[in-house]
Amino acid sequence: MEKKSVVVIGAGSTGAATIRDLSMRGIDAVLLERGDLCSGTTGKCHGMLHSGGRYVPQDKEGASECIRETKILFKIAPHLIEVTGGMFVGFEEDEKADPNFKDKKLQGCKECGIPVEEISVKKALEIEPSLSPEITSALWIPDEGSLHEFHFVCYMCLDAKRHGADIRPYNEVLEILRDGKTVTGVRVKDHIKDRIYEIRSEAIISASGPWAGKIAKMAGANVPINPTPGVMVVVNRRVVNHVINRLRKATDGDIILPHHTTAIIGTTSWPVDDPDKLPTPKDHVERMIKDGTRMIPIVEKCRLLRAYSAARPLIGLKDVPGRDISRTFEAFDHEKIDGIKGFITITGGKMCTARAMAEAAVNLACNKLGIRAECTTDKEPIIGYDEEIDVAKLSEEYGLVKLYTQRAVDRLGPLTRKALDPIKSAPYRGCWLCTDEFVTRAEIEYAVKNLWGHYIYDIRRRTRQSMGTCRGGTCSHVVAGIQVEEFNWDPVDVHADLMSILKLRWAGDKLLLWGDNLRQYKLNEAIYSCLGNYDKLGKGLPFSMPVFGELPW
């Protein structure tokens, strides 16, 4: 029987931060995730690095946590964030609705220690030329930006692995084992190896976001969690260079921010019972486009790549509207709440406060285990960031076009050298297979070997292959070939996996299937139906990945 001091459930930002914290304190721990790393809420979030400005004046607690943690991320994760600065922009209708809102926002920011400055409309338009000239007021908040969610999670896991932790994606907790009212371990299904096993542990930390209620129930405990989804729409271009918020009480469709090569518009808010059943309603998508266009008029003319929804893990009561629930987090000690010994839930919060959430949960676990170890996660950079990478030099060394090296550095940061090194002895590994996101074969192989990439859909998270304008059409079959050639996949399984990623991409594309998106689809159809004949031969192929809840088609 396998034994661990602590089992962490859920590999989103909170779970990854928790396993990192545990391992850095020398605690023997394992991270279990039913799907891929970052495949839940974190993987589908806005990717926003919050100053906290969005949550004042109504939620000063949540806002203060955001600014404190964002400043820590500046130090420990400079390669995972893009600090662009942000603006709050108001329109005439916003001022009419609440004439004092701007002053309340300014005052709230001041109270929470969030740097803010009122700027003229002229200045705002100079900073962000794509803004609507109809704005009537603007605030500048320097500490805003985006956080590369997948790499944030993945590199915290790498850090944990370096400190001795065990990271197990596709290992689903089926049951929480108890001895009376004390948790003693978990029964787990390994979906890849298709086996069921048990782990004994002294404590279990559930870091399962909107699934926290489901997991707590397994332990006989209770968490007041409201899964509250929101819809997001991805614009094909970086139509903004800064995070743009609407200067009004937080509501639907009031954020648009730059994210890698795209911009993301968000979002809506409605309660659901089950985070595994998330629709992306058409009227929400249309509202996002309309609201995004109000702030950034060219949005309407742009190609919109994809729409999707993700569930926020809001803590609170069922009858309180999602927008009014604090974004603060809470570590639940179930021994005190429900009398379930050894079980902790950490949920609520934001991606950017993951580290603080982990600290709170691990402190609690340490108390229970009688371990005295200090948290150092706010001091040590994630995966030992130190090196400035010279893109020109590296390009020459590997014989790569500089753009490819630069994009690899954007994704891989300090791991770039390790990922691209095989190109030196085998130059063909430097061949590109994605001209949207500029991905080389070496990076695909590194993602499988070193970053827990298993299915093609997972490789996408690590490399951004298929996230560009081709929607997976031109690159996915190439990755399928690599899976067979390098990683010995059975071709039948790879055909199924290839169809699976294309189905998942399609689920987001088909919500926006007009204009150039339809044209792109028709090109992919030319490859996979017209030539590949998958419309006929693919009929019997199963969905390759384990399915939780509902498939989006």
Give min distance, CB of 517 to other proteins, in A: 9
Helix or strand holding residue 496 (H, E): helix 491-509
Judged by CB under 8 A, which stretch of 96-104, 158-166, 356-364, 506-514 contacts other proteins?
A: 506-514
Among 152, 398, 446, 528, binds other proteins (CB under 8 A): 528
Helix (H) or strand (E) holding 82: strand 81-83
* Alpha carbons 362 and 360: distance in angstroms, whole number: 6
User: What's the min distance (Å) between Cβ of 479 and other proteins?
Assistant: 10
Closest approach, Cβ 81 to other proteins, in A, equals: 31
| Residue 189 or 407 having the CB closest to other proteins | 407
Residue with tokens 């199963």: 542
Given 430, 453, 468, 508, the residue binding other proteins (CB under 8 A)? 430
Q: Which is nearer to other proteins, 30 or 478 (CB)?
A: 478
What are the respective helix, strand and coil percentages of the chain, to the nearest 5? 45, 20, 35
Question: Which 257-296 positions form the footprint of other proteins (CB under 8 A)?
Answer: 282
Does 251 bind other proteins (CB under 8 A)? Our answer is no
In DSSP notation, 165-211 reads -EEETTEEEEEEEEETTEEEEEEEEETTTTEEEEEEEEEEEE--GGG
Among 4, 46, 189, 441, the residue binding other proteins under the rule CB under 8 A is 441
Torsion of CA 468, 85, 209, 31, to 10 degrees: 70
Residue 286, CA distances (Å) to 43, 163, 277, 303, 513 in order: 22, 46, 21, 14, 12
Nearer to other proteins, 88 or 506 (CB): 506
Q: How far apart are CA 135 and CA 124, in angstroms?
A: 9
- State yes or no: residue 522 binds other proteins (CB under 8 A): yes
Using the rule CB under 8 A, which residue among 91, 351, 506, 545 binds other proteins? 506
Q: Which of 26, 321, 339, 491 binds other proteins (CB under 8 A)?
A: 491
519 is a site residue for other proteins (CB under 8 A): yes
3-class secondary structure, 124: helix
Q: Is 477 in the site for other proteins (CB under 8 A)?
A: yes
How far from chain centre, in Å, is Cα 406? 22
- Asked whether the bond before 227 is cis by omega within 30 degrees of 0, the reply is no
403 is an interface residue for other proteins by CB under 8 A = no
Number of residues that bind other proteins (CB under 8 A): 55
- From candidates 482, 497, 544, 545, binder to other proteins by CB under 8 A: 482
Q: Is 360 exposed, middle or buried (0-12, 13-18, 19+ CB in 10 A)?
A: buried
Decide: is 446 part of the binding site for other proteins (CB under 8 A): no
| Piece of 25-33, 97-105, 322-330, 533-541 that binds other proteins (CB under 8 A) | 533-541
Assess 369 for contact with other proteins (CB under 8 A).
Answer: no
Strands of the sheet with 243-246, listed across from one edge: 117-119, 137-141, 86-90, 243-246, 255-259, 262-266, 225-235, 304-315
Q: What are phi and psi of 457, to 5 degrees?
A: -60, -30
- Smaller CB separation from other proteins, 192 or 431: 431
Dmax of the chain from CA atoms?
67
Q: Which of residues 534-553 bind other proteins (CB under 8 A)?
A: 534-539, 553
Q: Considering the complex, state which of residue 276 and residue 516 has its C-beta at the smaller distance from other proteins.
A: 516
Nearer CB in complex with other proteins: 250/527? 527
State CA 272 to chain mean position distance. Answer: 20
From 129, 427, 542, 549, residue interacting with other proteins (rule: CB under 8 A): 427
Residue 267 or 465: the one with the smaller Cβ distance to other proteins is: 465
Residues that bind other proteins (CB under 8 A): 282, 399, 427-428, 430-433, 441, 473-474, 477-478, 480-482, 484-485, 490-492, 494-495, 499, 502-503, 505-506, 510-511, 513-515, 518-519, 521-539, 553
